[in-house]
Structure 1
Amino acid sequence: MFYGEKLRQLRELHGFSRNELAQKLNVSEQTIGQYENNQITPRLDIMRKLPEMFSVNMHFFNTPSFIKKDVILEGSIAYRTKDRNSRKKINNELEYLTYSKTFIDYFESFVTSNIGGFELLKQKTNEIQKNSFKISDVASFARSFYELKSNEDLMSKLEQSGITILEKDLGDTIDAYSGFTKDEKPYIVLGNFKKTAVRRNFDLAHELGHLLLHSYIVMNELTNREHTEVEMQANEFASSFLMPKLEFEKDFNSIPRKTNPDFYIKLKKKYMVSIGALEYRAYKLKLISYQENRYFWSQMTKKKYRELEPLDDTISPIKPGKVRNLLSFLLENKLITVNDLIEKFGIKLEFLIFLFDLKIDFFDKYCDKNKEVTKSKYSNVIDFEAVRNQLCR
């Protein structure tokens, strides 16, 4: 039996409309709809193309769907303005989060880890918001809660607190989005399209702001004006969180020429944010005048720093590490095997490489013990020694 629901899920997971998939398979859009609604079964030549196209096995479509249904609260997802009115985009990302959570829940079912803390942070920040309307107060508490000394550690700190951070191709116009699953698990999804390390840091802080400030808001019911206000609040949170007021004021006042972007490079190294974000923070704190602000941005344009700032091409972005580290731990300790994954879910390894943005050779060492594994810069989020201790009890 052919399960058309699984074809729809894969189509949306890969970002295809019915028409786009129809063109790839050289059939009509109506035919794709009939496949998905179980009105007709694909011809043999189509059945041979689908597994190759979606990195699944031949029998994948002959078994019921294994993903959990309705696990994501659509209204909680903080899309950027350009994406919130695109039904296709929303369906694609909901499918992506649903698939991701299904696999992550499966991986986590094998271990007990010491990851957590976000729930407590959320509770505390809710209390702060009841007594204060200042976003800066929430940001200051959050930074203290995470004991964040260097912004370079932000990715690891967020993952260690229980936020699942994923990375995927969101296109060249989308930075990131965030939201909660129905079991109240926080997720942040980052775009991987030419993102600099400092802009990624700001994206992370921006999405943390949404998770802490706006979980009670039904995002898809906001007007465009209300949505813009919510985005501005998240930006204010990120700025205050990454550049604490007193420390930043002291550092900024040591700059000899506040209108010259080149004098911001030292602060960029320290705070791991863009030169533009540094100047904007200073301007909002009234450390720089309106005239100085205008001259600064004219210099940014003249030096072509709006396109590429100094250090942007030398500081490597840190990639999310939770899922990669967890999967590595399970495979290395033989809690699961490559064959388990292939047989249980009816997928090829390329499916997981696509889903979790893994390196193309990620599974090589688990298939061929003689191969070397390339090293990359990932956050270290799982205390494997603690996990091992749990398993040995």
Structure 2
Amino acid sequence: MRVGTPGFVPERLIEARAARRILSKKALATLISVNPSTVTRWEDGTSAPDADALAELAAHLHVRREFFLRPVANSDRPLFYRTLASTLVKDLNYQESQMHWLQEISSIVEHYVDFPEVDIPDVLQGASYKQLRDEDIEQIASDLRAHWSVGDGPCIDMMPLLERVGCIVGSIEMGTSKLDGLCSWAQGGNRPHILLSTDKMSFPRRQMDAAHELGHAILHRHVTEEELKKDLKEIERQAFRFASAFLMPATTYSYEVKSASLASLLSLKERWRVSVKAQIRRLSDLDIIPADHATSLYKLYSAKGWSREEPLDKNWPISEPTVLANALQLIVDSGVRSKSDLLSVEFTMKAGDIENLTALPPGWFSRNAEVIGLKLRESVSDRTTGDASTILPFPSRKG
């Protein structure tokens, strides 16, 4: 018989442990001075902590006690990782917990503020990602550029574009350079959430990461967990191909390549704001240079030490997401909720977690906010549930 705090949600304890990078149940048990088997029973749901133990958990995991009584903000869609390597399990678990928290914050804020409508066209029209050819992905990227009025030249900044088309974006330090970004559609599949890494970040890398995660949102919206695990390599390849095609259209970028040298690509980087390494891959994918030439360029690239940092990497400031930060400022400035209300009633994680995920300045919850113009919902209970996407034709096969 389950005893302890009524309504305790075991998954929330697992999530909080991951968010604080506590790898094992034993480590948590040591932290709060209980038997490891006790933590095991809490996490598998066979028992629940009593009031005192719940207070201990909340204090050590830096959340409110109510955190453990709310359901996990799980999505019915998979999270798109770059790798599922077992050696990164702690980092992957942390990344997943932060995505859940981003979705939870988004859901709470959306009670009060109208986010930009979702404008993610249904490019597959029921077809499977398995049917996609490279030429299909190229065409999809081109069609989307036209649909979003990006033009045929360089995409100046992916961040405002993602938010304009309805993505909710967060950015955090992952604690490892092996994890770049994460994408998942929210519960019900009505809005994509993207979490980007700030580790060792440069603007060209942020551009590629953002376009890559957008590729997942576009091409892999209906992929199942089983398909992701089975076809991860191909799914990642497709997302990268989309990102490359979106940032470097074959119809324009390729015609500006006068010579396939590092010096030439560095010059193109200044205009297209895409890394030299990504350009080498793009030229190879488009069969503009043969495989052996690409290999030679990669070797020379490595010999110059550009794997650590490329020239021009620091030429552009890295933009941060703004939608959630502006929305929270609007809620406070309009008097709908005070900052203390938000922390004591709406949110269950600590202020620093919210500031970090939403790109609010550190300490925002402890000082006055500035007035930001967004649109408040006419009714707090009014929830937008429709999908504002349109349909673009899936490229037909020839021959």
The answer to whether the aligner puts 1:7 opposite 2:13 as a matched pair is: yes
Structure 1 residues 23 and 319: CA distance shift in structure 2, 3 A = farther
Residues 1-393 of structure 1 correspond to what in structure 2 (within 5 A)?
2=5, 3=8, 5=10, 6-16=12-22, 17-36=24-43, 37=45, 39=47, 41=49, 50-57=57-64, 60=65, 65-67=69-71, 69=72, 71-74=74-77, 76-83=78-85, 92-113=94-115, 115-119=116-120, 121=121, 123-124=122-123, 126=125, 133=133, 134-149=136-151, 150-172=154-176, 173-184=178-189, 185-222=191-228, 224=230, 226-253=231-258, 255=259, 258-259=260-261, 261-344=262-345, 345=347, 347-356=349-358, 358-366=360-368, 385=373, 387=375
Q: Is the 8 A contact 1:178 1:210 kept in 2?
A: yes
Going from structure 1 to structure 2, the CA distance change for 1:165 and 1:83 (only over 3 Å counts) comes to farther
TM score, norm. by length of structure 2: 0.78
Q: 2:125 corresponds to which letter in structure 1?
A: N
Structure number with higher helix proportion: 1
The alpha-carbon deviation at position 274 of structure 1 amounts to 0.6
Cα 1:11–1:205 change in 2 (3 A) is same
- Compared CA separation, residues 70 and 85, structure 1 to 2 (3 A): farther
In the TM superposition, residue 386 of structure 1 has moved relative to its aligned partner by 6.0
What are the superposed Cα offsets for residues 51-107 of structure 1, whole Å, 9 maximum, x if unpaired?
A: 4433334xx25x86234x464024x32222335897776665554333332321221
Residues 389, 116 of structure 1: alpha-carbon distance in 2 compared, 3 angstrom cutoff:
closer
Q: Are the counterparts in 1 of residues 171 and 356 from structure 2 also a CA contact under 8 Å?
A: no
Change (3 A) 1:390 1:156: farther
The 8 Å contact of residues 175 and 191 in structure 1, kept in 2 or not, is answered as yes
Contact 1:201–1:273 at 8 Å: present in 2 too? yes
Q: Structure 2 stretches of 5 or more lacking a match? A: 380-399
Change (3 A) 1:124 1:223: closer
Q: Distance in 1 between matches of 2:222 and 2:306?
A: 38
Letter in 1 for 2:179: I
Q: Which moved more, 1:310-319 or 1:90-99?
A: 90-99
Change (3 A) 1:118 1:84: farther
Tell me which amino acid in the other structure corresponds to 2:29: A
Aligned in 2, Cα 1:221/1:135: closer, same or farther, shift over 3 Å? Answer: closer
Deviation at 1:12, TM superposition (A): 3.2
AA of the residue aligned to 2:173 = D
Question: Retained in 2: the 8 A contact 1:155–1:204?
Answer: yes
1:381 maps to none
Say which SS state the counterpart of residue 274 (structure 2) adopts.
coil
Contact 2:327 2:374 (C-alpha < 8 Å) held by counterparts: no
- Specify the SS of the correspondent of 2:289: coil
> For residue 361 of structure 2, what is the amino acid of its counterpart?
K
Q: Which amino acid aligns with 1:55?
A: H
Deviation, 1:35, is 4.5
Q: Which amino acid aligns with 1:168?
A: I
Kindly indicate whether the alpha-carbon contact (under 8 Å) linking 1:56 and 1:351 is maintained by their aligned counterparts in 2.
no
Q: Is the 8 A contact 1:129 1:138 kept in 2?
A: no
- CA deviations on 1:230-268 (whole Å, 9 max, x unpaired) are 211111111111101121122112x5xx32x23322311
* TM-score (norm: length of structure 1): 0.79
1:176 to partner: Cα distance: 1.2
Query: What CA distance in whole angstroms lies between the structure 2 residues aligned with 1:388 and 1:364?
Result: 23
Count how many residue pairs are aligned between Structure 1 and Structure 2: 362
Alpha-carbon distance in structure 2 between the residues aligned to 1:316 and 1:31: 48
Offset, 1:153: 2.5
User: Taking structure 1 as reference, are residues 179 and 112 closer, same or farther at Cα in structure 2, changes over 3 Å only?
Assistant: closer
Deviation per residue, 1:309-365 (Å, 9 max, x gap): 002234322222221121122122222111211221455423423554543222233
Asked if 2 retains the 8 angstrom alpha-carbon contact of 1:209 and 1:234, the reply is: yes
SS at structure 2 position matched to 1:328: helix
Matches of 1:26 and 1:386, distance apart in 2: 47
Check the 8 A contact 2:321/2:359 in 1, yes or no: no
- CA distance in 2 between partners of 1:41 and 1:66 (Å): 15
5+ residue gaps in structure 1? 374-383
Any idea what SS the aligned residue of 2:182 has? strand
Distance 1:231 1:294 in 2: 21
Tell me, in whole angstroms, the C-alpha distance in 2 between the residues paired with 1:128 and 1:267: 36
**Separation in 2, partners of 1:389, 1:19:** 46
* Residue number in structure 2 paired with 1:379: none
Query: What is the CA-CA distance between 1:174 and the residue it aligns to?
Result: 0.9
